[in-house]
Copies of this chain bind each other. A is one copy, B any other.
Amino acid sequence: MIETWIIEDNTSYSTLIRSAINQSDWCTCEHEWTTVADALKYLSKGDIPDVILTDINLPGMNGIEGIKEIKAKIKEIEIIVLTVFDDNEKIFDAICNGANGYLLKSSSPEEILEAIKTVVDGGSSINAGLARKVFNIFSSLKPAEHTYGLTKRENEILNYLVDGKTASEIAKVTFTSPLTVQTHIKNIYTKLQVNTRSGLVSKAIKEGLISKGGKKLFGNGL
Protein backbone atom coordinates (compact mmCIF):
# COMPACT_ATOMS: atom_id res chain seq x y z
CA MET A 1 0.00 0.00 0.00
CA ILE A 2 1.47 3.34 -1.07
CA GLU A 3 1.21 6.03 1.60
CA THR A 4 0.93 9.59 0.33
CA TRP A 5 0.73 13.06 1.87
CA ILE A 6 -0.54 16.26 0.38
CA ILE A 7 0.83 19.73 1.11
CA GLU A 8 -1.66 22.26 -0.21
CA ASP A 9 -3.16 25.38 1.33
CA ASN A 10 -6.30 25.23 -0.79
CA THR A 11 -8.09 22.64 1.33
CA SER A 12 -11.04 22.20 -0.97
CA TYR A 13 -8.65 21.13 -3.74
CA SER A 14 -6.57 18.90 -1.48
CA THR A 15 -9.68 17.19 -0.13
CA LEU A 16 -10.70 16.43 -3.69
CA ILE A 17 -7.35 14.85 -4.54
CA ARG A 18 -7.24 13.03 -1.25
CA SER A 19 -10.58 11.34 -1.78
CA ALA A 20 -9.55 10.40 -5.32
CA ILE A 21 -6.41 8.77 -3.95
CA ASN A 22 -8.31 6.97 -1.21
CA GLN A 23 -10.69 5.55 -3.75
CA SER A 24 -7.87 3.52 -5.25
CA ASP A 25 -7.10 0.12 -3.75
CA TRP A 26 -3.32 0.49 -3.77
CA CYS A 27 -2.76 3.99 -2.50
CA THR A 28 -3.89 5.97 0.54
CA CYS A 29 -3.60 9.51 1.80
CA GLU A 30 -3.73 9.79 5.58
CA HIS A 31 -2.42 13.30 5.99
CA GLU A 32 -2.85 16.60 4.28
CA TRP A 33 -0.97 19.69 5.46
CA THR A 34 -1.34 23.32 4.60
CA THR A 35 2.31 24.23 5.18
CA VAL A 36 5.69 22.59 4.67
CA ALA A 37 6.50 23.25 8.33
CA ASP A 38 3.59 21.07 9.44
CA ALA A 39 4.71 18.24 7.22
CA LEU A 40 8.31 18.51 8.40
CA LYS A 41 7.20 18.46 12.03
CA TYR A 42 5.26 15.25 11.47
CA LEU A 43 8.13 13.75 9.46
CA SER A 44 10.38 14.19 12.48
CA LYS A 45 8.03 12.01 14.50
CA GLY A 46 8.99 9.07 12.29
CA ASP A 47 5.86 8.74 10.21
CA ILE A 48 7.17 8.58 6.67
CA PRO A 49 5.10 8.50 3.48
CA ASP A 50 6.22 7.03 0.17
CA VAL A 51 5.11 10.02 -1.86
CA ILE A 52 4.38 13.66 -1.12
CA LEU A 53 2.29 15.79 -3.44
CA THR A 54 3.09 19.44 -2.89
CA ASP A 55 1.90 22.79 -4.13
CA ILE A 56 4.48 25.52 -4.82
CA ASN A 57 2.67 28.63 -3.67
CA LEU A 58 2.30 27.97 0.04
CA PRO A 59 2.09 30.19 3.11
CA GLY A 60 5.44 30.38 4.90
CA MET A 61 8.03 28.21 3.21
CA ASN A 62 7.27 27.73 -0.48
CA GLY A 63 7.10 24.33 -2.12
CA ILE A 64 10.46 24.61 -3.86
CA GLU A 65 12.26 25.21 -0.57
CA GLY A 66 10.04 22.52 0.90
CA ILE A 67 11.31 19.92 -1.55
CA LYS A 68 14.85 20.66 -0.53
CA GLU A 69 14.04 20.45 3.18
CA ILE A 70 12.10 17.22 2.87
CA LYS A 71 14.74 15.59 0.66
CA ALA A 72 17.45 16.70 3.05
CA LYS A 73 15.60 14.90 5.82
CA ILE A 74 14.57 11.72 3.99
CA LYS A 75 15.77 11.53 0.45
CA GLU A 76 13.80 8.37 -0.30
CA ILE A 77 10.49 10.20 -0.29
CA GLU A 78 9.23 10.74 -3.82
CA ILE A 79 8.01 14.27 -4.32
CA ILE A 80 5.54 15.31 -6.96
CA VAL A 81 4.90 18.98 -7.54
CA LEU A 82 1.24 19.79 -8.14
CA THR A 83 0.78 23.38 -9.14
CA VAL A 84 -0.75 25.88 -11.52
CA PHE A 85 2.65 27.28 -12.48
CA ASP A 86 4.13 26.14 -15.76
CA ASP A 87 6.90 28.67 -16.23
CA ASN A 88 10.42 27.52 -16.94
CA GLU A 89 11.82 28.94 -13.76
CA LYS A 90 9.49 27.09 -11.41
CA ILE A 91 9.95 23.85 -13.31
CA PHE A 92 13.69 24.30 -13.33
CA ASP A 93 13.93 25.12 -9.64
CA ALA A 94 11.63 22.30 -8.62
CA ILE A 95 13.57 19.67 -10.55
CA CYS A 96 16.91 21.04 -9.42
CA ASN A 97 15.82 20.80 -5.82
CA GLY A 98 14.89 17.18 -6.23
CA ALA A 99 11.30 16.94 -7.45
CA ASN A 100 10.49 13.54 -8.96
CA GLY A 101 7.40 14.61 -10.81
CA TYR A 102 5.74 17.80 -11.95
CA LEU A 103 2.02 17.98 -12.59
CA LEU A 104 -0.34 20.81 -13.33
CA LYS A 105 -3.49 21.17 -11.26
CA SER A 106 -5.44 20.75 -14.46
CA SER A 107 -4.42 17.08 -14.34
CA SER A 108 -7.17 14.54 -13.87
CA PRO A 109 -7.28 12.32 -10.76
CA GLU A 110 -6.32 9.42 -13.03
CA GLU A 111 -3.22 11.26 -14.17
CA ILE A 112 -2.28 12.03 -10.61
CA LEU A 113 -2.63 8.38 -9.59
CA GLU A 114 -0.64 7.39 -12.67
CA ALA A 115 2.09 9.81 -11.60
CA ILE A 116 2.21 8.33 -8.12
CA LYS A 117 2.61 4.87 -9.60
CA THR A 118 5.36 6.14 -11.90
CA VAL A 119 7.49 7.68 -9.18
CA VAL A 120 7.26 4.71 -6.83
CA ASP A 121 8.34 2.54 -9.77
CA GLY A 122 11.48 4.66 -10.03
CA GLY A 123 10.41 6.82 -12.93
CA SER A 124 9.71 10.52 -13.16
CA SER A 125 6.37 11.90 -14.10
CA ILE A 126 5.88 14.86 -16.36
CA ASN A 127 3.44 15.44 -19.17
CA ALA A 128 4.45 15.98 -22.78
CA GLY A 129 3.90 19.73 -22.73
CA LEU A 130 6.01 20.29 -19.65
CA ALA A 131 8.58 17.82 -20.94
CA ARG A 132 8.99 20.08 -23.97
CA LYS A 133 9.75 22.93 -21.62
CA VAL A 134 12.30 20.82 -19.79
CA PHE A 135 13.89 19.94 -23.11
CA ASN A 136 14.00 23.59 -24.07
CA ILE A 137 15.61 24.58 -20.80
CA PHE A 138 18.25 21.96 -21.47
CA SER A 139 19.06 23.13 -24.93
CA SER A 140 19.19 26.74 -23.82
CA LEU A 141 21.75 25.65 -21.26
CA LYS A 142 24.10 24.68 -24.05
CA PRO A 143 26.20 27.74 -24.75
CA ALA A 144 26.54 28.85 -28.34
CA GLU A 145 29.68 27.50 -29.82
CA HIS A 146 31.78 30.59 -30.26
CA THR A 147 35.37 29.65 -30.83
CA TYR A 148 36.63 33.18 -31.41
CA GLY A 149 39.18 31.63 -33.76
CA LEU A 150 41.41 30.48 -30.94
CA THR A 151 44.28 28.29 -32.08
CA LYS A 152 45.06 24.95 -30.49
CA ARG A 153 47.81 26.41 -28.35
CA GLU A 154 45.69 29.34 -27.28
CA ASN A 155 42.95 27.00 -26.24
CA GLU A 156 45.37 24.93 -24.24
CA ILE A 157 46.65 27.99 -22.45
CA LEU A 158 43.12 29.23 -21.88
CA ASN A 159 42.37 26.03 -20.01
CA TYR A 160 45.34 26.51 -17.73
CA LEU A 161 44.29 30.09 -17.09
CA VAL A 162 40.84 28.96 -16.04
CA ASP A 163 42.55 26.63 -13.60
CA GLY A 164 44.00 29.71 -11.97
CA LYS A 165 47.55 29.16 -13.16
CA THR A 166 49.93 32.08 -13.70
CA ALA A 167 51.82 32.69 -16.92
CA SER A 168 55.05 31.30 -15.51
CA GLU A 169 53.32 28.19 -14.22
CA ILE A 170 51.85 27.60 -17.65
CA ALA A 171 55.27 28.11 -19.21
CA LYS A 172 56.60 25.32 -17.03
CA VAL A 173 53.96 22.76 -17.97
CA THR A 174 54.11 23.65 -21.66
CA PHE A 175 57.93 23.75 -21.75
CA THR A 176 57.97 27.22 -23.27
CA SER A 177 59.07 30.65 -22.14
CA PRO A 178 56.84 32.73 -19.84
CA LEU A 179 57.18 35.45 -22.46
CA THR A 180 55.68 33.18 -25.07
CA VAL A 181 52.80 32.41 -22.80
CA GLN A 182 52.28 36.13 -22.26
CA THR A 183 52.14 36.63 -26.00
CA HIS A 184 49.54 33.92 -26.34
CA ILE A 185 47.50 35.40 -23.52
CA LYS A 186 47.70 38.81 -25.16
CA ASN A 187 46.35 37.34 -28.37
CA ILE A 188 43.56 35.55 -26.52
CA TYR A 189 42.62 38.86 -24.90
CA THR A 190 42.33 40.47 -28.30
CA LYS A 191 40.26 37.64 -29.72
CA LEU A 192 37.87 37.48 -26.77
CA GLN A 193 37.82 41.25 -26.37
CA VAL A 194 38.63 41.31 -22.69
CA ASN A 195 41.36 43.11 -20.81
CA THR A 196 41.62 41.41 -17.45
CA ARG A 197 42.45 37.89 -16.39
CA SER A 198 39.21 37.56 -14.49
CA GLY A 199 37.12 38.84 -17.36
CA LEU A 200 38.78 36.26 -19.56
CA VAL A 201 38.10 33.38 -17.19
CA SER A 202 34.54 34.52 -16.70
CA LYS A 203 33.85 34.75 -20.41
CA ALA A 204 35.58 31.46 -21.13
CA ILE A 205 33.48 29.56 -18.63
CA LYS A 206 30.21 31.28 -19.39
CA GLU A 207 30.57 30.71 -23.10
CA GLY A 208 31.71 27.14 -22.74
CA LEU A 209 35.12 27.66 -24.29
CA ILE A 210 36.69 25.23 -21.89
CA SER A 211 37.29 21.74 -23.16
CA LYS A 212 37.89 18.60 -21.19
CA GLY A 213 39.07 15.78 -23.39
CA GLY A 214 37.67 17.52 -26.43
CA LYS A 215 34.22 17.91 -24.91
CA LYS A 216 32.59 21.18 -24.07
CA LEU A 217 31.43 21.46 -20.51
CA PHE A 218 29.28 23.62 -18.36
CA GLY A 219 30.41 25.78 -15.54
CA ASN A 220 29.62 22.95 -13.19
CA GLY A 221 31.71 20.27 -14.82
CA LEU A 222 29.07 18.35 -16.73
Contact = CB atoms under 8 A, between A and B. Distances in A.
Interface of A: 92, 95-100, 118, 121-129, 131-132, 134-135, 137-143, 161-166, 194-203, 205-206, 208, 218-222
Nearest to A140: B222
A28 to B, nearest CB: 22
Contacts of A218: 141, 218-220
A209 to B, nearest CB: 11
Contact of A92 (B95, B132, B222): B222
A202 B199 contact: no
B206 A139 contact: no
B135 A199 contact: no
Contacts of A164: 194-196, 198-200, 202-203
B220 A208 contact: yes
